[in-house]
Amino acid sequence: MMPKSYNYNPYSSPSDAVKAELSEIDASIRSAAIFFVISAIGWLMLGTIFALLAAVKSHSPDFAGAYEFLTFGRVRSAHLNSMALGWASNIIFAVGLWIMARLCRAPIQHKGILLIAGIFWNIGLTVGVFGILGGDMTSVEWLEIPRYATPLLAFSYTLIGVWGVIAFRFRKGDHVYVSQWYILAALFWFPWLYVVAQVMIIWFPVRGVVQSVTNWWFAHNVLGLWFTPMALATAYYLIPKVLGRPIYSYYLSVLGFWSLAIFYNWAGIHHLIGGPIPVWLISAGIVASVMMVIPVIVVGINHHMSILGMHKQVWRSPTLRFVVFGAISYTLVSLIGSSMALRTVNEITHFTHFTVGHAHHGVYAFFTMIMFGGVYYMMPRLLKCEWPSAGLIKIHFWGCAIGITIMVVALQVGGWIQGMEMKNAEIPFLEIVQNTIPWLKARSVSGIFLTAGHCAFALNLFWMLFAAGALRAKEGPTLLVNKEKVNSIV
Amino acid sequence: MDAESYTDLVPLIFIAVVFFTVAVGALYWSSKRGQLRDFDKQARTIFTDEEPEGEVSDSFPEKK
């Protein structure tokens, strides 16, 4: 037994003043979280349309080419920003802040501010994406949003991020769980990245190649210090939570967090291998990229050992199907990424579709799949009702799992062949370009699977939101878990 | 406005120092407050009376 004065767990605390009910916390964040989920899905669907357009255009350039705003350059950037700042960041605000509130055991205060900040974030983004389509985009990858929209984004982010910090400040209990570390750190890292990149590239541009160094430091860290920690926080919360068994080694999870914090921010420079920047800078980036093997292996072992012997329960849980798919992808994509940072490998993969495949492997197969899992766990608890259709969840899972697998395999195999051919001076460049076409067509096919998955997800969610009341009234209050069934397999 | 020299970036360098200090401070704080001890107990803080340890809390919705 723990001494009373140093109680780690306020949920089970005998004192009512300290005790906080999960359902009460869920209720306090309901309106804001649902707003963010709806926005995220809106951006996901829009980003999917842009993605399909860009994918088809890459092998059939004449497709929908009659309109300026549908040209490849604009549609591709609109896709990137819709997904990175629209889908990914909105779903982070929903799932990440919800987990933060639960772990802080503090019902949220001033939820109106959170909601208003969220509305401004989405307005800023809408203006930005329209600006991109309208031809106002900057020429900087990952920072394409025109400068008239970015201050609004930065401002509304601040309000949202500060809210997470406030929740942490008023937490109950002494212990900070590893997910809170990840979320809190990411809430600090993202504004730092965004503001520095905006200042040094857009507002007060530094000279020459320093811009490109800043650019890739930023772009890679959006993945490494914003998406990754949020997805890992979700996995570290949901895997033990759903299985009802603590994480295999809490020690390893802390080690994983601090080693990620130390190494990841250096890694982005590997995008400039062979570029006209100081060699020591590139070498430092390569070393950091390879050092990332430590947190990745640590997290991979920890997650694997945590589900060992409970594979059936994982498969029976919609949440964990997605989360575990994402966790496995994290190990794979990160190890591939570390090897891609080696100069000899990079000679082949640089400037090919291999990199595009790698980016989707990370942001989609890892991050997005885990966030889908988070939504499957969060929504029933916020709305106090069950998902209406198990079939749609399965379509969602298989559509996304098959789609992203086809995409990553096609782009990486095709990209590797492309890289090998480009190293051979005897093959004409145009022939190499033509050889990529079958692989690019495979990517368009993968887009159809992904679109089917996203449609099933959106349908299930809106069904739940707008028809759930009717369902509930008819059948009485639903249990979130069919306990007999679960007990029979345990 | 273009940044002409390193001195134009002094404010950013200053922010960088602040961020670095915060990170080191966080590590120091966590060690001081016992966050890096008693790992077995700490891993259990996510379970509650409503969602207790030893119970699988998610499965596919059943057909009625």
Mutation for B interface: A1, A2, A5, A12, most B CBs within 10 A? A12
Which residues of chain A have a CB within 8 Å of the CB of B22?
Answer: 188
Residue B56 and residue A481: Cβ atoms within 8 Å? yes
Task: Look at residues A175, A192, A224 and tell me which one is the last residue of a structural domain.
Answer: A175
Task: Look at residues A148, A175, A202 and tell me which one is the last residue of a structural domain.
Answer: A175
Please tell me whether residues A32 and A109 are part of one structural domain.
Answer: yes
Q: Is residue A397 part of a domain?
A: yes
- Residues with Cβ within 8 Å of B58's Cβ and at least 6 positions away in sequence, in order, are A242, A317, A318, A319, A320, A376, A377, A480, A481
Nearest-CA distance from A157 to chain B in Å?
Answer: 18
Residue A237 and residue B46: Cβ atoms within 8 Å? yes
pLDDT for res A24: 84
Report the C-alpha gap between A114 and A262 in whole angstroms: 31
Q: Is residue A18 part of a domain?
A: no
Asked if pLDDT for residue A203 goes beyond 80, the answer is: yes
Three-state SS string over chain A comes to CCCHHHCCCHHHCCCCCCCCCHHHHHHHHHHHHHHHHHHHHHHHHHHHHHHHHHHHHHHCCCCCCCCHHHCHHHHHHHHHHHHHHHHHHHHHHHHHHHHHHHHHCCCCCCHHHHHHHHHHHHHHHHHHHHHHHCCCCCCCCCCCCCCCCHHHHHHHHHHHHHHHHHHHHCCCCCCCCHHHHHHHHHHHHHHHHHHHHHHHHHHCCCCHHHHHHHHHHHHHHHHHHHHHHHHHHHHHHHHHHHHCCCCCCHHHHHHHHHHHHHHHHHHHHHHHCCCCCCHHHHHHHHHHHHHCHHHHHHHHHHHHHHHCCCHHHHHHCHHHHHHHHHHHHHHHHHHHHHHHCCHHHHHHHCCCHHHHHHHHHHHHHHHHHHHHHHHHHHHHHHHCCCCCCHHHHHHHHHHHHHHHHHHHHHHHHHHHHHHHHHCCCCCCHHHHHHHCHHHHHHHHHHHHHHHHHHHHHHHHHHHHHHHHHHHHHHHCCCCCCCHHHHHHHC
Please tell me whether residues A245 and A393 are part of one structural domain.
Answer: yes
Asked if pLDDT for residue A80 goes beyond 70, the answer is: yes
Neighbour tally for A336: CB within 10 Å: 18
- Count how many pairs of residues, chain A against chain B, have C-beta atoms within 8 Å: 140
pLDDT for res A294: 96
Q: Which of B41, B51, B56 sits opposite A8 (nearest CB)?
A: B41
Average pLDDT over chain A, rounded to an integer: 90
Lowest mean per-residue pLDDT among A14-18, A198-202, A300-304, B10-14: A14-18
Instruction: Report whether A270 contacts A286 (CB < 8 A).
Output: yes
pLDDT for res A490: 39
CATH of the domain at A134: 1.20.120.550
Q: How far is CA A416 from CA A306, A351, A410, A420, A432, in A?
A: 35, 10, 10, 6, 12
Please tell me whether residues A355 and A469 are part of one structural domain.
Answer: yes
The token pair that represents B15 in the structure block: 């922010």
User: What mean pLDDT do residues A353-367 have?
Assistant: 97
Q: Is residue A5 part of a domain?
A: no
Report the C-alpha gap between A214 and A218 in whole angstroms: 6
**Among A179, A184, A181, A182, which residue's Cα sits nearest to residue A164?**
A184
Nearest-CA distance from B9 to chain A in Å?
Answer: 9
Buried b or exposed e, range A247-275, using 16+ CB within 10 angstroms: bbbbbbbbbbbbbbbebbbbbbbbbbbee
- Please, which pLDDT band fits residue B35 given cuts at 50, 70 and 90? confident
The token pair that represents A260 in the structure block: 């990620």
The token pair that represents A144 in the structure block: 């394409």
Please tell me whether residues A255 and A142 are part of one structural domain.
Answer: no
State CA A470 to chain mean position distance: 33
Q: Is residue A99 part of a domain?
A: yes
Full residue range of the structural domain in which residue A165 is found? 23-175
Nearest-CA distance from A178 to chain B in Å?
Answer: 9
Q: What is the pLDDT of residues A380-421, one digit of tens each?
A: 999 888 899 999 999 999 999 999 999 999 999 999 999 999
Please tell me whether residues A292 and A166 are part of one structural domain.
Answer: no
pLDDT for res A470: 60
Which residues of chain A have a CB within 8 Å of the CB of B58?
Answer: 242, 317-320, 376-377, 480-481
Q: Is residue A188 part of a domain?
A: no
**CA A346, A351, A353, A359 torsion: positive or negative?**
positive
Which amino acid is residue A412, in one-letter code? Q
CATH of the domain at A342: 1.20.210.10
Instruction: Report whether B47 contacts A105 (CB < 8 A).
Output: no
Residue A240 and residue B60: Cβ atoms within 8 Å? no
Please tell me whether residues A168 and A242 are part of one structural domain.
Answer: no
pLDDT for res A172: 84
Nearest-CA distance from A217 to chain B in Å?
Answer: 14
Nearest-CA distance from B63 to chain A in Å?
Answer: 8
Instruction: Report whether A146 contacts A131 (CB < 8 A).
Output: yes
Nearest chain B residue (CA) to A248: B43
> If residue B10 lies in a helix (H) or strand (E), which one and from where to where?
helix B10-32
Report the C-alpha gap between B30 and B2 in whole angstroms: 41
pLDDT for res A235: 97
Please tell me whether residues A308 and A456 are part of one structural domain.
Answer: yes
pLDDT for res A126: 97
Q: Which of B36, B40, B59 sits opposite A481 (nearest CB)?
A: B59
The number of C-alpha atoms within 13 Å of A129 and in the hemisphere containing its C-beta is 22
Q: What is the pLDDT of residues A244-298, one digit of tens each?
A: 999 999 999 999 999 999 899 999 999 999 999 999 999 999 999 999 999 999 9
Residue A11 and residue B34: Cβ atoms within 8 Å? no
- Please, which pLDDT band fits residue A5 given cuts at 50, 70 and 90? very low
Report the C-alpha gap between A188 and B23 in whole angstroms: 10
Which residues of chain B have a CB within 8 Å of the CB of A2?
Answer: 41
Neighbour tally for A471: CB within 10 Å: 15
Residue A22 and residue B48: Cβ atoms within 8 Å? yes
Nearest-CA distance from B35 to chain A in Å?
Answer: 7
pLDDT for res A20: 60
Q: What is the pLDDT of residues A83-141, one digit of tens each?
A: 999 999 999 999 999 999 999 988 877 788 899 999 999 999 999 999 999 999 999 99
**Among A149, A153, A132, which residue's Cα sits nearest to residue A141?**
A132
Mutation for A interface: B15, B30, B58, most A CBs within 10 A? B58
User: What mean pLDDT do residues A194-214 have?
Assistant: 90
Report percent pLDDT > 90 for chain A.
Answer: 76
Residue B61 and residue A237: Cβ atoms within 8 Å? no
Mutation for A interface: B50, B60, B63, B64, most A CBs within 10 A? B60
Domain count, chain A: 2
The token pair that represents B31 in the structure block: 């060690």
Residue A317 and residue B63: Cβ atoms within 8 Å? no
Report the C-alpha gap between B62 and A475 in whole angstroms: 13
pLDDT for res A162: 87
Instruction: Report whether A155 contacts A130 (CB < 8 A).
Output: no
Please tell me whether residues A330 and A455 are part of one structural domain.
Answer: yes
User: What mean pLDDT do residues A62-71 have?
Assistant: 89
Please tell me whether residues A126 and A242 are part of one structural domain.
Answer: no
Instruction: Report whether A341 contacts A291 (CB < 8 A).
Output: no
Q: Is residue A197 part of a domain?
A: no
- Please, which pLDDT band fits residue A335 given cuts at 50, 70 and 90? very high
Q: Is residue A202 part of a domain?
A: no
Q: What is the pLDDT of residues A209-253, one digit of tens each?
A: 889 999 999 999 999 999 999 999 999 999 999 999 999 999 999
- Please, which pLDDT band fits residue A19 given cuts at 50, 70 and 90? low
- Please, which pLDDT band fits residue A474 given cuts at 50, 70 and 90? low
Q: Is residue A312 part of a domain?
A: yes
Report the C-alpha gap between A246 and B47 in whole angstroms: 9
Q: Which of B9, B38, B51 sits opposite A241 (nearest CB)?
A: B51
Report percent pLDDT > 70 for chain A.
Answer: 91
Please tell me whether residues A257 and A403 are part of one structural domain.
Answer: yes
Nearest-CA distance from A365 to chain B in Å?
Answer: 21
> If residue B17 lies in a helix (H) or strand (E), which one and from where to where?
helix B10-32
Instruction: Report whether A180 contacts A100 (CB < 8 A).
Output: yes
Please tell me whether residues A37 and A161 are part of one structural domain.
Answer: yes
Residue B54 and residue A245: Cβ atoms within 8 Å? yes
Please tell me whether residues A161 and A256 are part of one structural domain.
Answer: no
Which residues of chain B have a CB within 8 Å of the CB of A240?
Answer: 43, 46
Lowest mean per-residue pLDDT among A5-19, A190-204, A299-313, A420-434: A5-19
Nearest-CA distance from A392 to chain B in Å?
Answer: 11
The phi, psi pair for A71, rounded to 5°, reads: -70, 160
The token pair that represents A40 in the structure block: 């995220």
- Please check whether residue B22 touches A, CB under 8 A: yes
pTM of the model: 0.90
State CA A269 to chain mean position distance: 21
- Please, which pLDDT band fits residue A469 given cuts at 50, 70 and 90? low
Task: Look at residues A157, A175, A193 and tell me which one is the last residue of a structural domain.
Answer: A175
Report the C-alpha gap between A378 and A473 in whole angstroms: 21
Q: What is the pLDDT of residues B42-63, one digit of tens each?
A: 888 888 888 888 888 888 887 5
- Please, which pLDDT band fits residue A21 given cuts at 50, 70 and 90? confident
Average pLDDT over chain B, rounded to an integer: 82
Report the complex ipTM.
Answer: 0.82
- Please, which pLDDT band fits residue A484 given cuts at 50, 70 and 90? very low
Which residues of chain A have a CB within 8 Å of the CB of B38?
Answer: 8
